[in-house]
Amino acid sequence: MTVAKQYDVVIVGGGAAGIATASSILRRASHLSVAIVEPADTHYYQPGWTMVGAGVFSSHSTSRTMASVMPKAANWIKAAVNILDPSNNALELSNGTNITYGRLVVCPGLKLNWSGVEGLEAALGHNGVTSNYSYKTAPYTWELVQNLKSGKALFTQPPMPIKCAGAPQKALYLSADHWFRQGVIRDIDINFFTSTPGLFGVAHYVPALMKYIEKYDAALHLQHTLTKIDSAAKIATFRNQEGELVESEYDMLHVCPPQCAPDFIRQSPLANSDGWVDVDQETLQSKHFENVWSLGDVISAPNAKTAAAARAQAPVVATNLLAHAGSSNRVNHYNGYGSCPLTVERGKIVLAEFGYGGKLLPSFPKWLIDGQYPSVLAWLLKAQALPWLYWNAMLKGREWLVKPEHNS
Ligand code: FAD
């Protein structure tokens, strides 16, 4: 009989949340055995894909080998988790082995459900259908934008929750800005089809965004959900609020796919009824197993699913896990912080930063960056500072601007 290998801490997923949390734990407690279960060879800086779709970043600048971002002191187990068995503190892996843990951190991200729209998988990547939600097709967005001189462009957003809820409209703004600068925008009919009842979830930012919708003369179709793509005929079908099917022709179609919890999470005892990991939204501890925490896109909490959120969550999970292990009695809490830099034109961003309940949580004084107005400085932040911060601070456990808050 083989004995399952035991670790003090096991982290499921080596994405933005997993690597940041492992680094935060190991910076404080290097004596612990920490394993990261992660099947992929490549780690992606997904927030950069909006910029790839606009020809600002190259796609290769958004990826690094997984080996290069793994903390040196962590044990990388190159496999996927197939089954979570928290009652026995055990995981079943895709390589046929089982491992056990003292404490578990669950952060495998979410599942992009490409098959949730009929015809999307087959259509994606050719004949005018693209998405910045994939490393492979983000460059194709820029190719299509450059080549389109007239015709009809559609941008779609599925039902919430999705990661970076601003990304579908960011693709619209940056594409429209290019057409505006090229002097062809009058010949392009731009449309935004979103399942949501409004342009953006936090009202504070909507007036600034609406100015750009007007500038680009884009038609807004609220509560329209993409259901089908006929790529041969170049027709997209949407279901509207009344349940009617509405068809639209297109020359370019940018799709944000429907999103849901990964299957192995949905099927585990950690999930809530919608499939997400059921956590206390402040402590990020599982509501069902006291030695389990979760963060990143997979959690049930109603925050904006962003890398910025994971950056704020990682120190909270690290410190709360170590407190549980006996290092202190202090419990820290996460305030729901997330950030969405809305790239309204090349060189300007409306910087949305907010927490639970839409509470505004700006990182900068108003005179420097005011989220109600497009800002050049916020663009420099997104184009230069944030990628650097991601690779060199967040993934290394340097908790700049995100010191965990204490629950008194
Ligand atoms: P991920 O980074 O997706 O990592 C999950 C990891 O888990 C992956 O490495 C995966 O291989 C692994 N995994 C999956 N299944 C298993 C399994 N069974 N076992 C083990 N490991 C598994 N955020 C911002 O802050 N600002 C932005 O401007 C922004 N823009 C975005 C634009 C786009 C187009 C996209 C797609 C995302 C954007 N985001 C943005 C969102 C941000 O990238 C995510 O919120 C962030 O990556 C979430 O981190 P995560 O670790 O939860 O998931």
Q: How far is the centre of ligand 1, averaged over its atoms, from the C-alpha of 306 (Å)?
A: 8
- What is the CA angle 168-172-178, rounded to 5? 145
pLDDT of residue 4: 80
Give the whole-angstrom CA distance, residue 390 versus residue 294.
20
- Residue whose CB lies within 8 A of the most ligand 1 atoms, among 294, 306, 334, 363, for a mutation test: 306
- pLDDT given for residue 402 in this prediction: 79
pLDDT at 263: 98
Rounded CA separation 109/268 (Å)? 15
Q: Residue 240 and residue 247: Cα distance in Å, rounded?
A: 10
On whether the CB atoms of residues 314 and 21 are closer than 8 A, the answer is: yes
Out of 46, 56, 84, 162, mutate this one to test ligand 1's pocket (max ligand atoms within 8 Å of CB): namely 46
Q: Reply yes or no on whether 107 is catalytic.
A: no
- Residue 323 phi/psi, 5-degree rounding, is -65, -40
Q: Ligand 1 centre and the CA of 307: distance in Å?
A: 7
Length of the chain: 408
Q: Is 220 helix (H, G, I), strand (E, B) or coil?
A: strand
Residue nearest to atom 29 of ligand 1 (CA): 47
Contact call for residues 402 and 315 (beta carbons, < 8 A):
yes
Determine the distance separating the centroid of ligand 1 and the alpha carbon of 233, expressed in angstroms: 33
**Successive 10-residue mean pLDDT values, the chain, 408 residues:** 84 98 97 98 98 98 98 98 98 97 98 98 98 98 98 98 97 98 98 98 97 98 98 98 98 98 98 98 98 98 98 97 89 96 98 98 96 97 97 95 70
Q: How large is the angle between the packed helices 138-147 and 167-182, nearest 10 degrees?
A: 30
Assigned token pair, 306: 């962003």
The span from the CA of 197 to the CA of 203, in Å, is: 12
State in Å, rounded, how far the first CA of the chain is from the last one.
Answer: 48
Distance from Cα 266 to the centre of ligand 1, integer Å: 17
Q: Any idea which residue has 């099917």 for tokens?
A: 245
Tokens read off for 25: 């734990």
- 340 a catalytic residue: yes
Q: Which two tokens stand for residue 17?
A: 């949340």
Q: Atom 11, ligand 1: which residue's CA is nearest?
A: 40
Q: Name every protein residue with a CB atom under 6 angstroms from any ligand 1 atom.
A: 12-18, 37-40, 46-47, 49-50, 80-81, 107-109, 132-133, 163-164, 167, 262, 264, 296-298, 305-308, 310, 339, 341
Q: Residue of the nearest CA to atom 28 in ligand 1?
A: 47
Q: pLDDT at position 44, please?
A: 98
Q: 14: CA distance to ligand 1 center in Å?
A: 9
Name the packing angle between helices 167-182 and 206-215 (round to 10°): 40
311 CA to middle of ligand 1, Å? 12
For ligand 1, atom 40: residue with the closest CA: 47
Q: What is the pLDDT of residue 407?
A: 59
Per-residue confidence (pLDDT) for residue 130, from 0 to 100: 98
d(CA 368, CA 182): 31
Nearest atom of ligand 1 to the alpha carbon of 45: 43
3-state SS record for 171-214: HHHHHHHHHHHHCCHHHEEEEEEECCCCCCCCHHHHHHHHHHHH
CB 237 within 8 A of CB 227: yes
CB count within 10 Å of CB 1 equals: 3
d(CA 323, CA 332): 9
d(CA 23, CA 311): 12
Ligand 1 atom with minimal separation from the 16 CA? 51
